[in-house]
Amino acid sequence: MTSLLTIYGLGVRYDSRDLIRGLSFAVRRGEIVALMGPSGVGKTTILRVVAGLQAFDSGQVIVDGFALGPGPIPAESRLRPLRRRVGLVFQAHALFEHLSALDNVTLALRHVLGQSRPEAELLATKLLAELDVGSRAAAWPRQLSGGEAQRVAIARALALDPPLLLMDEPTAALDAARRTGLGTTLRRLAQQGRGLLLATHDMEFARDYADRAITLASAPPPADAH
C-alpha cells in the first residue's frame, strides 16, 4: 500500500530550541495512526504542519504527491492542492459560530467547489446523516453537545473528500459511550480508504482503534521516533 502522508526528517524550532527534530514517519491509506506523548511535545504542531498552517525548519512533508518544504508557509493559492488532500478537525472543533451545522458543511462546497446551494445541501445532509447528526442540521454550533459538534466538524472536514483526515485530541470531551461511537466511525472512514492521523494522549483509545502509535518523547526528541 502506498503512503498517503510521508514525513521525512521534520524539524521545528520554537523559541530557539528544537521542539521536533528529525522526525520521520508515514501514514498509508486505510490506516489510523496515533501520535502519542505528553502535552507540549509537539503533537498538535505536527498536525498543523501537515495542514499547512505552520512553517517548519527542516525536512519534507509529502501529502499524496504534494510536497511541502521548510521555510515560510506558501501563499494560499499555492496550497490549494493541499487543501483538497487534507481535512483537519480542531480540538475545540472551531465550527463557524454564525452558521448552522448544515451551512458549516456547505460553505466549502459552495465557495471552493462552486456547487449550487441545493447541490451542496444534498451532499452535506448525506454527510451529516452518515455521522449520525442528520437531525441537527439546522442547529447553531452553540446548541450542539460536544459529541455532536465534533461530528459536524468531521463532516465539515470531509466535505471536500480529502484522503487524509487529521484530528486533534478527538476524545478529549467524550464520555465512554461516545468514544466507542467515535472509534467505530473512524474505522469506517479508514475502511473507505482514507488515512487518519490522530494527535491524542488517550492510550486506551489508541490501543483500541489505531493501527499504529508513534510516541513522541519530551525534548530533545529522538532522531527517529517511529
Partner 1 sequence: MNGAGAAIGCVCGIALGLLTQHDQSRALVWGGDAEGGAPFVEADPADPSTVRGFDVEVAARIAGGLRHGPARFVQVQWSNIDQSVERGDFALGLSGVEDTPVRRTRHAVTLPYFEFREVLAVRTADQDRIRGLRDLRGRRVGTLGATIAYELLLAARDSTGIIPVSYDDDVHPYADLVAGRLDAVLLDHIIAQRALKRNGNEGFVILPAAAAIGHYVGVLAKRDSALRDSIDAVLREAMRDGSLEQIFRRWQVWDDSQGALFERVLRPGAGGGTTAGRDGAVAAAPSRALAYLPSLARAAGVTLLLSFLSMALAVLVGLALASGRLYGPLPLRIFTTGYIELVRGTPLLLQLFVIYYGLAGVVRLPAFLAALVALGLNYAAYEAEIYRGALEAVPRPQLEAGRTLGLSEAQILRLVRAPQALRYAMAPMTNDFVALLKDSSLVSVITVVELTKQTAIYATNVGSWVVPGLLCAIVYLAMSLPLSRLARRLERRWGGRSS
Of residues 53, 46, 85, 44, the one with CA closest to residue 172: 44
Give 15 or 97: the residue with its C-beta nearer to partner 1: 97
Cell of 21: 527534530
Closest to 205 (Cα-Cα) out of 188, 189, 182: 182
17 is a contact residue toward partner 1 (CB under 8 A):
no
CB of 225 to partner 1, least distance (A): 25
C-alpha cell at 126: 448525506
40 to 69, contacts with partner 1 by CB under 8 A? 51-53
Residues facing residue 12 across a β-bridge: 20
What the block records as the C-alpha cell of 52 is 499547512
Q: Does 172 bind partner 1 (CB under 8 A)?
A: no
The residue within the footprint of partner 1, chosen from 39, 77, 118, 177 (CB under 8 A), is: 77
84 near partner 1 (CB under 8 A): yes
Q: How far apart are the first and last CA of the chain?
A: 18
Q: What contacts 115, CB < 8 A, 6 or more positions away? A: 106, 109, 123
Closest distance of CB 172 from partner 1, Å: 14
The residue among 122 and 160 lying less far from partner 1, judged by its C-beta, is 160
Residues of this chain that interact with partner 1 (CB under 8 A) are 51-53, 76-77, 80, 83-84, 86-88, 90, 92, 94-100, 103, 107-108, 111-112, 140-143, 156-157, 159-160
